[in-house]
Amino acid sequence: MPLTQQDFYHLCSLSRLSPDPAAQEEMAQQCSHILNYMDKLSEVDTSGIEPLYSPVEHECFFRDDIAVRRCDRSAILNDAPVTDGEFFIVPRIVEGK
């Protein structure tokens, strides 16, 4: 499929590209090569072939939705420089009440 200059400019505007004039000819040729390759791919008979959603097999491991306490509050607060025993104490960074 030959890419006309008008098609190339339209493609550039859709892509929000504004190539400098020196690069336009090369970009137009590259786009034309890509479109030719896509034409070749569309000629391949893929009837009877299942779509491939990912080249990697994915297994989904479900777990029960149960709330579990993973960390002890006191263990986390022990790592803080300043606490009141229940909360972190941090310097005030917002003025006001």
- Cα first-last separation, the chain: 69
The yes-or-no verdict on residue 2 having pLDDT over 80 is no
* Between residues 39 and 96, the one the model is more confident about: 39
Cβ atoms of 18 and 12 closer than 8 Å: yes
Cβ atoms of 89 and 82 closer than 8 Å: yes
pLDDT interval class at 53 (50, 70, 90): confident
Q: Helices 21-42 and 5-14 sit at what angle, rounded to 10 degrees?
A: 90
Mean pLDDT of the chain: 88
The yes-or-no verdict on residue 1 having pLDDT over 70 is no
